[in-house]
Amino acid sequence: MKKIVLIFIFCIISTFIFSETILFIDSTPGRADIMVDGVIISQQTPALLRDLTIGAHNIELSKSGYIADEISVALLENDIKILSQTLEYGSIPLLFPVQDGVQINNKNIQEMLFLENGEYSFDMDPELLQITPIYPWQKIINGLNVSIPIISIFSGALTVNEIYNSHDSPGDLSVFTLSTIGVNAVLIAADILLYFTRDKYYKNYSLPTAAIEIEYPNNLYDIAEDMVMAGKLDSALHYLYKIIEKYPNANIYPNALYKTAKIKIINGDIETAKAFLETIILEYPLPSIYNSAVKSLSDILLRNGQYRESLEQLDLIVFMEAGFSREEIDLQRYKILNKWYETDSSLYVQLKKQLESIVKQYTNSPYYNFYVEILLELNKNYNDSSVQ
């Protein structure tokens, strides 16, 4: 009796803990690192997590140049939640318009720029604004540049004085004089080392582009959408590819991939569209376009005669308030199975079960009578072919 009770309790607990929950995580800017309950996961935002247990979870988002954000989220049984966070800058953004005549560390700036915390010098003439990052230890170097000559002169004077004015043992230097010479040597060595590290600092200095990835790609995407509305698809692709090639961390990047895929489908470049859709599903599952990408990829696989793979894609659909209904997806399953059945009559039972399920579940659908007619027609055709 105890064993039965324990098994019953375990089943209840297992059902509660291991029921599937879905959590979409998105951030501005995108490609933020994700830590779940203290463990860093391989995915970056936007991400789709299907394996979280029911209960409270601690989510931390972090990205270089931004303040880490920590959020607590509670997941219920069969819960679908969307977590969207905006990370705050780790310092004050400084933006430049797209123009010539701006340089930082002797490198031309062709886009907007984000300057992180630190000191910079600004030199401007009528044609050029030159911004130079100041080496963090530059003040120490400046101090050494002043102190080393002074100490050198002082220690040199002491040395000369003692050499020429010492009557007891000419050439012997006092402890004080030797100390000043030693201190001066240490300062010179420190100065040389700092000069070398400063050169390395400037050579390795890279242009941070956090603001570029938020503002500029959005402008490109807006232009691309205008081009699509005007029917200029090639021009739209030009701007979309700018986003895809330069700004993989931008929030608009998944949308650019999806828009490009749809244009590629229109232009007949199915394989390129397929590659972009797969990238969205696996690496950029943005809630607003994820289901559309899955459905579009399923359609491509159906067109290619990859019926099993097409059905498997539909299993990835996440049913949210906005988007595809279960009825739409079940009907799409029927269409795939029906196409497959045309090439393989052994799928009759599977196709019939799918239609029967649709008829049973969607009795209130305006298309209910249509579903019934299709089922009756399927049975009639199968019976006729069996008799023949």
Output the domain CATH number for residue 22.
Answer: 2.60.40
Does some domain include residue 211? no
**CB within 8 A of 117, min separation 6: which ones?**
90, 91
pTM value is 0.68
**CB within 8 A of 372, min separation 6: which ones?**
359
Whether residue 82 sits in one domain with residue 8: yes
Whether residue 74 sits in one domain with residue 15: yes
Write down the pLDDT at residue 382. Answer: 78
Segment 332-356, tens digit of pLDDT: 999 999 999 999 999 999 999 999 9
pLDDT category at 383 given cuts 50, 70, 90 is: confident
Whether residue 128 sits in one domain with residue 68: no
Q: Name the domain count of the chain.
A: 3
Residue 92 has pLDDT above 90, yes or no: no
Residue pointed to by tokens 């988007």: 323
Other beta carbons within 10 angstroms of residue 172's beta carbon come to: 11
Whether residue 117 sits in one domain with residue 66: no
Whether residue 170 sits in one domain with residue 110: no
Does some domain include residue 106? yes
* % the chain with pLDDT above 90: 52
Domain of 121? 102-133
Whether residue 81 sits in one domain with residue 121: no
Residue 252 has pLDDT above 80, yes or no: yes
Does some domain include residue 263? no
The amino acid present at 201, given as its one-letter code, is Y
Whether residue 81 sits in one domain with residue 11: yes
Does some domain include residue 42? yes
pLDDT category at 387 given cuts 50, 70, 90 is: very low
Does some domain include residue 33? yes
Does some domain include residue 50? yes
The amino acid present at 146, given as its one-letter code, is V
Whether residue 72 sits in one domain with residue 16: yes
Segment 112-122, tens digit of pLDDT: 555 666 777 77
Write down the pLDDT at residue 158. Answer: 80
Residue 244 has pLDDT above 50, yes or no: yes
**CB within 8 A of 278, min separation 6: which ones?**
297
Residue 37 has pLDDT above 80, yes or no: yes
Of 153, 182, 204, which residue sits at a domain end?
A: 204
Segment 192-226, tens digit of pLDDT: 988 888 888 777 666 554 444 556 888 899 999 99
Provide the pairing of β-strand 80-86 with 22-28. parallel
Does some domain include residue 158? yes
Does some domain include residue 283? no
The amino acid present at 161, given as its one-letter code, is N
